[in-house]
Structure 1
Amino acid sequence: MSPDHDNPRATAPATAVDHESVVDAACRITSIVRRTPILTAAVPTPNGPVEVVFKLEYLQHGGSFKVRGSLNALGRARENGTLPAAGVLIASGGNAAIGAAWAARYWDTPCTVVVPEAAPPAKLDRLQRLGATVHRVGSSYADAAAHASTLARELGAVKLHAYDLPDIVAGAGTIALELCEQLDTPLDCLVAVGGGGLVAGLTAGVRGTDMIHGVEPVGAATLHRALAAGAPIDIEVNSIAADSLGATRIGNLAWAAASTGRIDSLVVDDTGIVDARRWLWDELRIVVEHGTAAALAPILAGTVTETAGRTLCVVLCGANTAVSDLG
């Protein structure tokens, strides 16, 4: 990847990842990834309980959906003979790094990751156990990404992007193919948005009758702010979910997907995120990251409701967190 991918303003307008790319990714990684299950539960709302289907993607290898994209990207590089001895390098707040490290271990290649100084200990511990070389740099994902570009050139490693690389997005989109096999009704699918790789992948992978709702913290609303401005813009991040939804600008591929009109953006506050995370633990004994729990918050608040003939679906995308911080 060229350094321009770390500066969306320097790139040409991106084209949304297409459905065929998601199908191709599925052919490459389906035998490796877990086919994550779904769980149906009644969720309380101001207007009474509603039925919600949860896609339990936090049960994926590495504890989040991120491994799908890394396996696809590394698998393609191996097929093309473009995976160097230095392996891969990625800048990430945590989950994308864990996904890359898991995929690199699977493909028996080195992995170097650059994370912000504030990366959660649970994620750092997981990276070390996966054998990755970890560099802690800066106070934000943007700081880590800037350092990663220089380091990748020095090492001669292939640089992955946490959310704005076609192979990464297509790999994430394989979740949608599973959902379409598991649920035969049109979906109203809620998913947390950081840089937008997952929401872009799901949009490419779902059926034409499905709708994707991107959910963002008010203090990290990259997609919402871009939609309001008519173009991606830089934002300041201030949210309890910043460790996983800490991008300061929506990715080009997510913006291209949003420009199709098949994604809307819902904003939730940190209190709603904490409440959603607590409800998942209290009622379902599911522990996820704050960023993951954000996707449920609009349903609990009554912002998103049931529609006859359609299924409300929440993608629980990551659980690299500590049980001790639920209190």
Structure 2
Amino acid sequence: MGQLTYADVKAAGERIAGRVRPVTVAPGDDGGRVWLALEYLQHTGSFKARGAQNFLLAHAAAGTLPDAGVTIASGGNAGLACAWAARELGVRATVFLPETASPVKLARLRSYDAEVRLAGREYAEALGACEEFAARSGALASHAYDHPLIAAGAGTVLDEIRTRVPGLDTVVLSVGGGGLLAGVAAAAREHGVRVVAVEPEGSRALHAALAAGRPVDVTVDSVAQDALGARRATALAVHAARQDGVDAVLVPDEAIVRARQELWDGHRIAVEYAASTALAALGRVDGERVAVLLCGANTDPSDLAGGLS
């Protein structure tokens, strides 16, 4: 698979314009160095809405949306985005999730009129079931992260952040399979913005791929695995991570949990562990104008101190 280009991201931005919410940013500290990109306010609660819209709109324009609809395997957020985008276009959606999927995500998914099927304990098992279903039914197979249209759609958030944070030099984001990284890195490279890609220590598909020189399977064991639980990083993400201006960082689960709590205590922001993974690396990030992408908020906030009462 070739390199994702800025032209791909720009085309995605034009395609989805008016169909997604422009990202909101807020100051993350008193000095004006750190800004929080509040992408968890996006439709369906995560950045995944961008890629889902781009994927389905591109297929609709090409006349390649089958009567059987679209199907996807997901840890939750990509399934939500696909189901929402499909409903917007009047397309059937069948979503496969692992049995460990968040009840919050399951409830929201069903609210988008998707058919939900649970398979296995990990994303990879749900993906296998999804692929079998697509082959049998003729449904269009989407992907949670490993598709250039999905990645390009995700990358559209970078130009929006740059517009709102003049002089942006660094963006920090969480990495699962790497679709967000691939898209953001393509746009960041165009503008000379550094990218810091953050993974949980217990879910390090990108780090393993960089060490091996190619995508490889890893075991997954992290508090953030419902959204960052990919066993294998995409070739697009590995290519992006090898470029100048991209740094890969690992953080422990303890730091992820602490960062999530700090967002609630300091800002009354309730996000999922995948979003706080990026913030957990902030102490290791240099830069005069840094944006931390808070990617999703499909979480049960009841374990945050004081709840939401």
SS of equivalent to 1:314: strand
Task: Kindly indicate whether the alpha-carbon contact (under 8 Å) linking 1:186 and 1:209 is maintained by their aligned counterparts in 2.
Answer: no
Partners of 1:200 and 1:319 in 2: CA distance: 21
User: Which one of 232, 236, 240 corresponds to residue 249 of structure 1?
Assistant: 232
SS of equivalent to 1:191: strand
TM-score, normalization by structure 1: 0.90
Identity of aligned residues (%): 44
CA shift for structure 1 position 261: 3.0
Counterparts of 1:43-82 in structure 2, within 5 Å, are 51-82=33-64
**Aligned pair in 2 of structure 1 residues 234, 50: CA closer, same or farther (>3 Å)?**
farther
User: Which one of 260, 282, 287 corresponds to residue 270 of structure 2?
Assistant: 287
Question: After the TM superposition, which of the residue ranges 200-209 and 25-34 deviates more from structure 2?
Answer: 200-209
Deviations 1:42-70 (A, max 9, x none): 17xxxxx7731011000000000001001
User: Which one of 158, 169, 183 corresponds to residue 201 of structure 1?
Assistant: 183
User: Which one of 5, 27, 36 corresponds to residue 40 of structure 1?
Assistant: 27
TM-score, normalization by structure 2: 0.95
Question: After the TM superposition, which of the residue ranges 165-174 and 247-256 deviates more from structure 2?
Answer: 247-256
Partners of 1:208 and 1:128 in 2: CA distance: 40
Q: Which amino acid aligns with 1:320?
A: N
CA shift for structure 1 position 139: 0.8
Query: CA RMSD of the aligned region, Å?
Result: 1.3
Counterparts of 1:175-254 in structure 2, within 5 Å, are 175-206=157-188, 207-254=190-237
- Which residue number corresponds to residue 155 of structure 1? 137
- Which residue number corresponds to residue 251 of structure 2? 268
| 2:1 corresponds to 1:18 | no
SS of equivalent to 1:232: coil
CA shift for structure 1 position 322: 0.9
Partners of 2:253 and 2:259 in 1: CA distance: 10
Deviations 1:91-115 (A, max 9, x none): 0000000000110011110000000
User: Which one of 74, 77, 84 corresponds to residue 92 of structure 1?
Assistant: 74
User: Which one of 122, 128, 147 corresponds to residue 104 of structure 2?
Assistant: 122
- Which residue number corresponds to residue 242 of structure 2? 259
| 2:300 corresponds to 1:317 | no
Instruction: List runs of 5+ in structure 2 lacking aligned partners.
Output: none
Partners of 1:275 and 1:287 in 2: CA distance: 12
CA shift for structure 1 position 323: 1.1
Task: Kindly indicate whether the alpha-carbon contact (under 8 Å) linking 2:74 and 2:96 is maintained by their aligned counterparts in 1.
Answer: yes
- Which residue number corresponds to residue 110 of structure 1? 92
Task: Kindly indicate whether the alpha-carbon contact (under 8 Å) linking 1:16 and 1:254 is maintained by their aligned counterparts in 2.
Answer: no
- Which residue number corresponds to residue 31 of structure 1? 18
CA shift for structure 1 position 180: 2.0
Deviations 1:181-210 (A, max 9, x none): 222214211100000000111011223310
Task: Kindly indicate whether the alpha-carbon contact (under 8 Å) linking 1:74 and 1:104 is maintained by their aligned counterparts in 2.
Answer: yes
Task: Kindly indicate whether the alpha-carbon contact (under 8 Å) linking 1:83 and 1:158 is maintained by their aligned counterparts in 2.
Answer: yes
- Which residue number corresponds to residue 155 of structure 2? 173
Task: Kindly indicate whether the alpha-carbon contact (under 8 Å) linking 1:69 and 1:169 is maintained by their aligned counterparts in 2.
Answer: yes
| Equivalent pairs, count | 304
Deviations 1:127-172 (A, max 9, x none): 0001000000001110011111010112211000110101000100
